[in-house]
Amino acid sequence: MARPFGRRSPRTCCGLRCRRYCHLWRLITALGTLEDPRAIAALETFTTLAADRPEKTAADKALVQLRTARKPGEDLKGLRTEVLDLQKSNRELKKDLEMLKKRIEAK
């Protein structure tokens, strides 16, 4: 029996059923790797799929990766305190240098 025009047999790509699912799986994995918190809403739509679907497992892994990633606000907060500490120590060193210059000039 001949196949209808345009129909293909299911292909296997990376252990998945067809290319579409393979690309979708790669996309979901990439969203987790990027660690962009805006991707959480998009990934949560895939968590409602059946448990045997590879997209669901990839989405679950990506969500875990996103939720455990450090938030940019925490990094900025630490960086800001470090810069302020460096500025303070720089001011103190300048004062000490000025005092030493005055002592040398006085002699």
Q: Are residues 100 and 64 in the same domain?
A: no
- In this prediction, residue 101 carries a pLDDT of 95
Is 76 in the same domain as 36? no
Residues 6+ apart with CB under 8 A from 65: 32, 33, 35
Question: What per-residue confidence (pLDDT) applies to 14?
Answer: 53
Q: Do residues 41 and 76 both lie within one domain?
A: no
Higher-confidence residue of 20 and 59: namely: 59
Same domain assignment for residues 58 and 90: no
List the domain range (segments joined by +) for residue 88.
70-107
Instruction: Note the pLDDT of residue 78.
Output: 83
Domain identity same for 19 and 53:
yes
Overall number of domains in the chain: 2
Residues 39-98 have pLDDT tens digits of 888 888 888 888 888 888 888 999 888 888 766 677 788 889 999 999 999 999 999 999
Q: Are 52 and 81 found together in one domain?
A: no
Residues 63 and 15 in one domain: yes
Q: Which residue has the higher pLDDT, 56 or 6?
A: 56
Establish if 4 belongs to a structural domain.
Answer: no
For residue 63, give every residue at least 6 positions away whose Cβ sits within 8 Å of its Cβ, in sequence order, or none: 32, 40, 43, 44, 47
How far, in Å, CA of 94 to CA of 62, rounded?
Answer: 49
